[in-house]
């Protein structure tokens, strides 16, 4: 019984770690290319969850009952729509303020997040109420020796890790990735070498926002619910994970995401009041950041992207 109890906490921590890591990697991409913090990132995640829900409701109204087909279409629609939103935000809000003080960019992305959140609350039918998310993943369990894990949790864990690995390989092994890394290291020299700065920035914001949408869908699939305020907490956690891991390092973002999930899991085991686990996790993160201001993987010993 005790082992089953601990197994469930372990699985929950792994799922949360993957979701947090996906959000943190997005923050790292934005910071690596433009040295900015995009505080609307959590709300893009939330909008991605609602976009997936809207896509599924549309498919259902058209008579589609193929679960796998509906899952694939909802994920693609959420990722592409939020990728487009991220590119538009970069084109019309972030790039025009490139020469402005960093505070201006921070404020405009913060206001964009507020606008996205309130738009969902006001214009989505009963958007202020939590929405049940469809069960599109198998509800069976997989047994590994004495360890039992829900199949949907397994899919989310490996799916999220696969998405992060794909993004890592894209950045390390493609011409687009080479251009992103060049701009992250020295944007002026990259421009002189013929790299289209604007296109690379738009592509980077589309990638980061698409990954946030995938995290929103994963969160909805795991909890079978989405709500218009969920991006607030996940955005703060993702940003904290990116900072504690080392802003500019994808590996650091992954480590930070799993570290935060681990701390939440330990807090849930140690404290009887569920809300205390978040307080415990944030206190430990604050202590780590006070001791390591540049993060666990400092920028001096890691690539910025």
Assess whether pLDDT exceeds 50 at residue 25: yes
Between 200 and 6, residue with greater pLDDT: 200
Question: Are 297 and 253 spatial neighbours (Cβ–Cβ below 8 Å)?
Answer: no
pLDDT at 74 over 90: yes
Share of the chain above pLDDT 90, in %: 65
Q: Give me the pLDDT at residue 268, please.
A: 86
Assigned token pair, 297: 């993987």
pTM for the whole thing? 0.93
Structural domain for 121, as ranges: 2-137+145-301
CA distance 89 to 40: 10
- Distances, alpha carbon 225 to alpha carbons 111, 178, 276, in Å: 25, 38, 22
> How would residue 304 be classed by pLDDT, with cut points 50, 70 and 90?
very low
Query: What is the per-residue pLDDT for 4?
Result: 55
Query: HSE on the CB side for 58, CA within 13 Å?
Result: 10
209: domain CATH number? Answer: 1.10.3470
Contact between 239 and 21 under an 8 Å Cβ cutoff? The reply is no
Residue 193's pLDDT is what? 86
pLDDT at 199: 93
pLDDT at residue number 301: 39
With a pLDDT cut of 70, the percent of the chain lying above it is 94
- Over range 240-256, report the average pLDDT: 91
pLDDT in tens, 200-223: 999 999 999 999 999 999 999 999
Q: How confident is the model at residue 184 (pLDDT cuts 50, 70, 90)?
A: confident
State the average pLDDT over residues 245-259: 91
**Domains contained in the chain, number:** 1
Weakest mean pLDDT among 47-51, 112-116, 179-183, 268-272: 268-272
Question: What pLDDT score was predicted for residue 159?
Answer: 95
User: What is the average per-residue pLDDT within 142-170?
Assistant: 87
Average pLDDT over residues 130-143: 88
At 47, the pLDDT band (50, 70, 90 cuts) reads: very high
Q: Is 136 exposed, middle or buried (0-12, 13-18, 19+ CB in 10 A)?
A: buried
Asked if residue 278 has pLDDT above 80, the reply is yes
């Amino acid at each position: 019984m005790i082992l089953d109890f601990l197994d469930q906490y372990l699985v929950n921590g792994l799922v949360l770690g993957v979701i947090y890591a996906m959000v943190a990697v997005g923050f790292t991409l934005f910071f690596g290319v433009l040295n900015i913090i995009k505080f609307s990132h959590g709300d893009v995640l939330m909008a991605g969850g609602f976009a997936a829900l809207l896509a599924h409701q549309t498919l259902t109204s058209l008579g589609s009952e193929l679960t796998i087909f509906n899952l694939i279409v909802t994920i693609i629609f959420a990722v592409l729509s939020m990728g487009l939103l991220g590119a538009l935000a970069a084109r019309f809000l972030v790039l025009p303020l490139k020469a402005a003080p960093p505070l201006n960019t921070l404020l405009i992305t913060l206001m964009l997040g507020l606008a996205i959140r309130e738009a969902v609350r006001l214009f989505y039918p009963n958007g202020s109420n939590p929405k049940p998310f469809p069960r599109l993943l198998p509800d069976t369990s997989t047994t590994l020796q004495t360890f039992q894990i829900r199949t949907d949790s397994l899919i989310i864990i490996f799916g999220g890790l696969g998405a992060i690995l794909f993004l890592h390989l894209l950045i390390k092994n493609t011409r687009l990735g080479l251009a992103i890394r060049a701009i992250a290291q020295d944007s002026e020299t990259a421009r002189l070498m013929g790299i289209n700065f604007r296109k690379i920035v738009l592509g980077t914001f589309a990638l980061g926002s698409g990954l946030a949408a995938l995290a929103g869908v994963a969160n909805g699939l795991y909890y079978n619910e989405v709500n218009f305020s969920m991006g607030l907490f996940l955005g703060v956690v993702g940003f904290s994970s990116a900072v504690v891991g080392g802003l500019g390092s994808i590996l650091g973002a992954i480590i930070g995401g799993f570290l935060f999930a681990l701390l939440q899991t330990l807090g849930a085991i140690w404290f009887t009041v569920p809300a205390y686990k978040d307080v415990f996790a944030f206190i430990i993160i604050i202590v780590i950041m006070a001791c390591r201001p540049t993060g666990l993987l400092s920028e001096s010993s890691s690539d910025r992207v």
